[in-house]
């Protein structure tokens, strides 16, 4: 039985823009960019033109085209983007497209023989690199990561960047330089004076714009914290490196300078990718998944086609090879798409596509021999977080009037959705999960698996629920027992004890008045009998409860106990905080545990110094006894501690819902006894 609450529409993000046409437009632009960039590389490689002057620049432009355009398209396919982020995505996409076209036109101009279109192609390639490259140093750092400027004053830098790019583009287009291709090519339209003037003005404008953009990014870093700071930091490093490499152009010998630039250029989208995937920028899981499947499938199909073609070509003519390769590729499209989609789904969302695997793995964990029933909730939580990669999971058990969290796993963030754990129709608890970071609700496919997991875990939780109820009953019984003992002690001490003491006084008075021999003997007998009765009553009351607690209070009683156990050989130190009023059961348990632990340490550990600390937090009273003795690995022959004593301490803590722990002190010198006792119990608070 699953309960999936209604969630807000994910598209209802403030400022969200729906853009079906624009989305498809971005996809088409990215495809054109990738194809153009890849074609440029193929053209230069096939034309054996890598040794020619402008060829290395093709590499830089192609890298921009191959990386920025897809990143821009993926970001634009995010589910809840605001206008600012879309603006940045369009800048990335535009840069990628312009660079890819610049790479392609340059590659064609490099390798093509003489033709009427070539001069126009050269004119085009001479300015296309400007909108392809310059935004990486100006607009991208200015707008990253929100797509909004750091402040209103930064509009000037933005406008200057745009104006500078226009001027530089026009200047570069009109510059009358000859393109050094296989055939030298001249541009059809050139004006040296205008080109020089525009280029100079553009340089004067763009240089401070780039500095301002970098400063803006630095300012964002200083203003931001946490996740946003990490998102900005990764880009700051990449842009800084790109700026440095660009500034060193001409200083570093070619082609090393261009290779370094290509690497630095590639680092910027890598940085954005890191921010997107690792630091959850733009919450692009769905878009990333689709992009990864599409890219992976495309490359796989190309690989299958080329491999098949290469193999078939050795034994058959080219035509058959092409047809056969296309046929094999076509046959593999659907199965490959399905498998890759499952693989990406598994990578992002764990095993939700394979419920059988999740169920089998959980069953195998639950049926592991030696697994305590108390560990089952934690096992279930761990399995849910590991297998489905959900944000967090916790198991809660339903009690009569409340719920109690038994186990939790993962980092809890966002609203948890609950799945009922039912056993034989009765609600025994809840499996609460939070969606993956970046998701607004638990996906229905996750919900189906969680329902199966809930069914598997419910019987174990039912057993735990019974155990919890038993424990609560035990705590109530112990609390009632201790209260009854306290009452009985008071009754015996104040009632029967006082009566016997009075009786004894009367007998003693009668002894003083009577001189007759037999009467004196009778009164002596009566006096000794009453004295024995008083002693027995005292013994009974002392056994019911440590008398020091009632006479001095818990804190003073513990201090006296420590003083009594201390000696020249072993100093006992005490530190007790201001203790609250606690139930009789907790008082007795605290006193008995401290007394047993101190006695053990003083008598058996060979310690020279023992320390008792009693403190509290909001829910528990903490007792800590440390010593500097032999520790847990006591040499053979040394007097052994009381195993019964340790068991008794543990039992006393657990019977009132507390915990007990015995560990070795850091460094192996001495032992540490810790007990935590609940300050509030189910019943019987005094």
Segment contacting other proteins by CB under 8 A, of 136-144, 204-212, 224-232, 629-637: 629-637
586 to 605, contacts with other proteins by CB under 8 A?
600, 604-605
> Is 516 one of the binding residues for other proteins (CB under 8 A)?
no
424 to 453, contacts with other proteins by CB under 8 A?
436
CB nearer to other proteins: pick between 213 and 572? 572
- Provide, rounded to whole angstroms, the least separation between the CB of residue 254 and other proteins: 16
186 to 225, contacts with other proteins by CB under 8 A?
none
The CA-based dihedral angle spanning residues 188, 192, 198, 201, taken in that order and rounded to the nearest 10 degrees:
160
Among residues 79, 120, 230, 346, which is the contact residue for other proteins, using CB under 8 A? 346
Query: How crowded is the C-beta side of 104, counted as CA atoms within 13 Å?
Result: 16
Residue 290's contacts (CB-CB under 8 Å, 6 or more residues apart) are 77
Q: Residue 405: beta bridge partners? A: 396
CB nearer to other proteins: pick between 65 and 94? 65
Q: What is the Cα–Cα distance from 68 to 527, expressed in whole angstroms?
A: 105
SS3 at position 583: coil
Q: What is the Cα–Cα distance from 389 to 353, expressed in whole angstroms?
A: 12
Q: Residue 148 is encoded by which pair of tokens?
A: 């909004």
> Is 256 one of the binding residues for other proteins (CB under 8 A)?
no
> Is 296 one of the binding residues for other proteins (CB under 8 A)?
yes
Segment contacting other proteins by CB under 8 A, of 24-32, 74-82, 133-141, 362-370: 362-370
- Provide, rounded to whole angstroms, the least separation between the CB of residue 203 and other proteins: 34
Residue 16's contacts (CB-CB under 8 Å, 6 or more residues apart) are 80, 81, 82
> Is 641 one of the binding residues for other proteins (CB under 8 A)?
yes
Provide the mask over 549-588, with x wherever binding to other proteins is found by CB under 8 A and - wherever it is not.
Answer: ----------------------------------------
CB nearer to other proteins: pick between 197 and 414? 414
Burial of 553 (0-12, 13-18, 19+ CB in 10 A): middle
How much of the chain is in helix, strand and coil states, percent to nearest 5?
65, 10, 25
Residue 158's contacts (CB-CB under 8 Å, 6 or more residues apart) are 139, 142, 149
37 to 76, contacts with other proteins by CB under 8 A?
45, 48, 50
Reduced 3-state DSSP string for 308-377: HHHHHHCCCCHHHHHHHHHHHHHHHHHHHHHHHHHHHHHHHHCCCCCHHHHHHHHHHHHCCCCCCHHHHH
- Provide, rounded to whole angstroms, the least separation between the CB of residue 344 and other proteins: 5
Q: Which residue has the tokens 């392609």?
A: 104
CA Rg value for the chain: 41
The CA–CA distances, whole Å, from 103 to 68, 111, 192 equal 14, 12, 24
CB nearer to other proteins: pick between 11 and 254? 254
Q: Residue 268 is encoded by which pair of tokens?
A: 């910027």
SS3 at position 150: coil
> Is 647 one of the binding residues for other proteins (CB under 8 A)?
yes
Q: Residue 337 is encoded by which pair of tokens?
A: 């798409």
- Provide, rounded to whole angstroms, the least separation between the CB of residue 438 and other proteins: 10
Contact between 676 and 620 (Cβ < 8 Å):
yes
- Provide, rounded to whole angstroms, the least separation between the CB of residue 632 and other proteins: 5
Name the H helices within 584-677: 584-604, 643-654
CB nearer to other proteins: pick between 670 and 684? 670
- Provide, rounded to whole angstroms, the least separation between the CB of residue 163 and other proteins: 38
Segment contacting other proteins by CB under 8 A, of 121-129, 221-229, 233-241, 639-647: 639-647
- Provide, rounded to whole angstroms, the least separation between the CB of residue 307 and other proteins: 4
CB nearer to other proteins: pick between 158 and 349? 349
CB nearer to other proteins: pick between 134 and 262? 262
> Is 680 one of the binding residues for other proteins (CB under 8 A)?
no
CA nearest to 497, candidates 527, 536, 528: 536
Among residues 225, 314, 402, 567, which is the contact residue for other proteins, using CB under 8 A? 314
Among residues 188, 253, 319, 370, which is the contact residue for other proteins, using CB under 8 A? 370
> Is 336 one of the binding residues for other proteins (CB under 8 A)?
yes
Contact between 345 and 293 (Cβ < 8 Å):
no
CB nearer to other proteins: pick between 138 and 671? 671
Q: Which residues bind other proteins (CB under 8 A)?
A: 45, 48, 50, 277-278, 292-293, 295-296, 299-300, 302-307, 310-311, 314, 336, 339-340, 342-344, 346-350, 368-370, 372, 389, 436, 600, 604-605, 631-632, 634, 641, 643, 646-647, 649-650, 659-663, 671
């Amino acid at each position: 039985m699953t309960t999936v609450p209604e969630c807000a529409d994910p598209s209802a993000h403030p400022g969200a823009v729906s853009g079906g046409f624009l989305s498809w437009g971005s996809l088409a632009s990215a495809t054109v960019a990738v194809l153009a960039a890849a074609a440029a590389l193929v053209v230069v490689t096939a034309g054996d033109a890598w040794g020619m002057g402008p060829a290395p620049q093709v590499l830089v432009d192609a890298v921009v085209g191959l990386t920025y355009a897809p990143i821009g398209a993926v970001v634009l396919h995010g589910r809840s983007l605001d206008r600012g982020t879309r603006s940045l995505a369009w800048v990335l996409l535009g840069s990628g497209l312009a660079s890819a076209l610049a790479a392609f036109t340059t590659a064609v101009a490099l390798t093509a023989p003489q033709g009427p279109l070539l001069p126009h192609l050269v004119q085009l390639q001479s300015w296309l690199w400007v909108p392809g490259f310059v935004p990486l140093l100006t607009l991208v750092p200015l707008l990253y990561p929100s797509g909004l400027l750091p402040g209103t004053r930064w509009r000037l830098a933005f406008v200057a960047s745009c104006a500078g790019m226009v001027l530089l583009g026009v200047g570069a287009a009109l510059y009358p330089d000859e393109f050094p291709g296989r055939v030298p090519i001249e541009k059809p339209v050139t004006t040296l004076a205008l080109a020089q003037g525009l280029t100079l003005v553009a340089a004067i404008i763009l240089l401070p714009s780039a500095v301002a953009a970098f400063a803006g990014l630095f300012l964002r870093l200083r203003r931001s914290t946490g996740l946003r700071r990490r998102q900005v930091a990764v880009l700051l490093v990449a842009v800084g490196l790109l700026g440095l490499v660009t500034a060193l152009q001409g200083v570093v010998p070619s082609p090393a300078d261009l290779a370094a630039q290509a690497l630095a250029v590639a680092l910027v989208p890598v940085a954005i990718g890191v921010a997107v995937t690792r630091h959850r920028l733009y919450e692009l899981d769905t878009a990333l998944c689709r992009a990864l499947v599409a890219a992976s499938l495309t490359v796989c199909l190309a690989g299958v086609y080329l491999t098949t073609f290469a193999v078939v070509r050795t034994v058959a003519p080219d035509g058959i090879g092409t047809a056969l390769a296309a046929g094999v590729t076509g046959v593999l499209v659907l199965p490959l798409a399905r498998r890759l989609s499952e693989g990406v789904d598994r990578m992002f969302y764990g095993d939700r596509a394979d419920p059988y695997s999740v169920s089998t793995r959980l069953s195998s964990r639950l049926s592991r021999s030696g697994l305590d029933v108390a560990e089952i909730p934690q096992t279930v939580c761990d399995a849910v977080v590991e297998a489905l990669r959900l944000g967090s999971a916790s198991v809660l058990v339903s009690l009569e009037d409340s719920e109690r969290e038994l186990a939790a796993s993962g980092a809890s963030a966002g609203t948890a959705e609950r799945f009922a754990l039912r056993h034989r129709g009765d609600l025994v608890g809840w499996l609460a999960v939070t969606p993956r970071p970046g998701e607004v609700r638990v996906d229905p496919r996750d919900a189906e698996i969680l329902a199966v997991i809930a069914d598997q875990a419910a019987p174990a939780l039912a057993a735990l629920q019974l155990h919890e109820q038993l424990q609560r009953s035990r705590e109530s019984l112990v609390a009632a027992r201790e209260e009854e003992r306290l009452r009985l002690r008071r009754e015996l001490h104040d009632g029967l004890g006082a009566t016997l003491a009075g009786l004894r006084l009367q007998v003693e008075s009668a002894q003083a008045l009577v001189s007759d021999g037999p009467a004196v003997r009778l009164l002596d007998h009566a006096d000794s009998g009453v004295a024995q009765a008083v002693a027995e009553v005292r013994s009974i009351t002392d056994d019911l409860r440590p008398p020091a607690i009632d006479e001095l209070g818990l804190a003073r009683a513990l201090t006296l106990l420590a003083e009594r156990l201390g000696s020249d050989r072993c100093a006992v130190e005490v530190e007790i905080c201001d203790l609250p009023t606690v139930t009789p059961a907790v008082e007795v348990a605290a006193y008995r545990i401290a007394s047993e632990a101190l006695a053990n340490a003083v008598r058996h550990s060979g310690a020279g110094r023992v320390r008792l600390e009693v403190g509290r937090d909001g829910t528990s009273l903490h007792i800590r006894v440390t010593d500097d003795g032999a520790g847990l690995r006591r040499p053979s022959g040394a007097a052994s501690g009381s195993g019964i004593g340790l068991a008794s301490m543990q039992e006393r803590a657990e019977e009132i819902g507390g915990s007990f722990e015995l560990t070795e002190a850091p460094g192996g010198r001495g032992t540490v006894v810790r007990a935590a006792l609940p300050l509030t119990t189910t019943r019987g608070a005094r």
